[in-house]
Structure 1
Amino acid sequence: MRRRLEALIERLAEVETVEALTELIHALRDNLDVEHVVYHSVNSTGQQYGILTYSDAWVERYLEQDYARIDPVVQGCFRRFHPVDWKSLDWSGKPQRTLLGEAIEAGVGRQGLSVPIRGPNGQFALFSVSDNRSDAEWARHTAARVRELILVAHYVNQKALELERGTDMVPVRSLSPREIDALTLLAMGYSRAQAAESLAISEHTLRVYIESARFKLGASNTTHAVARALTQGLLVV
């Protein structure tokens, strides 16, 4: 499973069109073993950009009703920085319950988890997965895959920004995928030993990636490197 995901991430780096990215999103849905995958971005000028596996009918309905205005996922995740399970959000209002009922009927799924992403120049995005598992099954599934979801969210956002070339695109220092992985895990609170184990590399190799990233970012230490990478939109935490 992990090798297949790594292969998809390598394919993602080679994507050059929105069509190819859409195909890859569908492949990610199968790899992550969920009903749907959604990437939705809003830049600092309000321009929206999305790639998803929902039905066209549901997308049209969502836009027609301007559901983003009341959607607890959109509104709740905007104020958060870590992955958010949809059931932890407030669906108690009548408009929200109506939205939820229509979404379930449209096949979105009864469960969902979203990774909030903050990119350069005020860009905000969500990478979401949804499914129809039971509460217990969903909790086990997302707990086992949350690290992968965070990393995939970063790579998809990075590629989408490259393709869209919107008004919020700014030049940033280039870090290698492994340098990004290393700093992302440290930003999430992993120790060096835990990060090395998660990436299946030695602590010495991890240190090489960290030092390389620190040099590229002009940072005085590891903490400084993580902070700079976060402010430049290079990491998702």
Structure 2
Amino acid sequence: MNRRLEAFIERLSAAATLDDLTDEIRALRDLFEVEHVVYHSVNSTGQQYGILTYSDAWVERYLEQDYARIDPVVQGCFRRFHPVDWKNLDWSGKAQREFLGEAIAAAVGRQGFSVPIRGPNGQFALFTVSDSRTDRDWELYTETHVRDLILVAHYVNQKALEIERGTDHVPVKSLSPREVDALTLLAMGYSRAQAAESLAISEHTLRVYIESARFKLGAANTTHAVARALTQGLLVV
């Protein structure tokens, strides 16, 4: 994890209000060097919260036309559990193609990468970055940044849940950022050696984080700990 990302996570951890969270999410455009960043959440009571960097005109048009009904990003990600590149969604319908044309004209970007998040008690959120890079440049970009995008999506959603706790009343276990990192990488299929290398720590230190998380979650083993953390919305993979 690079220093700029670590600094962002530290600032995000200190966010106490939705305004603070909004400022940090908007700052992600510079951190990830993309044109747009979007975070949208629907909690267990149906209340929605969104932070996005699209133009006001496009947001107004999107809501006015109720484009969520046909938007392949929204519809496709709602049925998925794993991150998805927009190119892999179904844009074959006439309505979807026309919608895409409007979105591109509104400077949303030709490329996008979205992380669907399923939190506790039915909460659903979507974290997205979009840009106008070429197909090849975008492929290289996502290959390079996919892990960081997934981790940031988790941190943003976790902070949003903390701030909105009075609405959702979610009894979320408290794991340290490093414990979350360790379990997230294991959930993504990393071996312990690969996870330790990615986090720039020793396997012994990684084991300490895993065991600490396992104890907090009341899990019988590492696999059980990952499963419990996923179920409680502590991880996104």
Shorter-chain TM-score tier: over 0.9
Alignment of 1:62-73 (within 5 A): 62-73=62-73
The answer for the alignment partner of 2:95 in structure 1 is 95
The answer for the alignment partner of 1:23 in structure 2 is 23
CA contact (8 A) 1:184 1:236 kept: yes
Counterpart CA distance in 1 for 2:36 and 2:208 is 37
Helix, strand or coil at the partner of 1:175: coil
Cα RMSD after superposing both structures = 1.1
The answer for the alignment partner of 2:55 in structure 1 is 55
1:142 corresponds to 2:164: no
Instruction: Mark the CA change 1:43 to 1:29 in structure 2 (over 3 Å): closer, same or farther.
Output: same
Instruction: Mark the CA change 1:69 to 1:173 in structure 2 (over 3 Å): closer, same or farther.
Output: same
Helix, strand or coil at the partner of 1:22: helix
Counterpart CA distance in 2 for 1:161 and 1:169 is 9
Instruction: Could you tell me which runs of 5 or more consecutive residues in structure 2 were left unpaired when the two chains were aligned.
Output: none
The answer for the alignment partner of 2:131 in structure 1 is 131
Counterpart CA distance in 2 for 1:143 and 1:169 is 36
TM-score (norm 1): 0.97
Following superposition, the deviation at residue 166 of structure 1 comes to 5.9
Instruction: Could you tell me which runs of 5 or more consecutive residues in structure 1 were left unpaired when the two chains were aligned.
Output: none
Alignment of 1:183-202 (within 5 A): 183-202=183-202
Pick which of 18-27 and 217-226 moved more: 18-27
CA contact (8 A) 1:161 1:169 kept: no
Aligned residues: 237
Helix, strand or coil at the partner of 1:174: coil
Task: Write the letter of the residue equivalent to 2:67.
Answer: Y
Following superposition, the deviation at residue 82 of structure 1 comes to 1.2
Deviation per residue, 1:53-105 (Å, 9 max, x gap): 11111111111111111110011011111110001111111111121111111
Helix, strand or coil at the partner of 2:233: coil
TM-score (norm 2): 0.97
The answer for the alignment partner of 2:122 in structure 1 is 122
Helix, strand or coil at the partner of 2:127: strand
Counterpart CA distance in 2 for 1:139 and 1:66 is 30
The answer for the alignment partner of 1:156 in structure 2 is 156
Task: Write the letter of the residue equivalent to 1:147.
Answer: R
Identity value in percent = 84
1:205 corresponds to 2:225: no
Helix, strand or coil at the partner of 2:40: strand
Counterpart CA distance in 2 for 1:65 and 1:216 is 46
Task: Write the letter of the residue equivalent to 1:4.
Answer: R
Deviation per residue, 1:123-147 (Å, 9 max, x gap): 1111000000000000000110000
Helix, strand or coil at the partner of 1:121: helix
Instruction: Mark the CA change 1:166 to 1:110 in structure 2 (over 3 Å): closer, same or farther.
Output: farther
Helix, strand or coil at the partner of 1:49: strand
Task: Write the letter of the residue equivalent to 1:226.
Answer: V
Helix, strand or coil at the partner of 1:114: strand
Following superposition, the deviation at residue 173 of structure 1 comes to 1.3
Pick which of 3-12 and 160-169 moved more: 160-169
Helix, strand or coil at the partner of 2:129: strand
Pick which of 165-174 and 98-107 moved more: 165-174
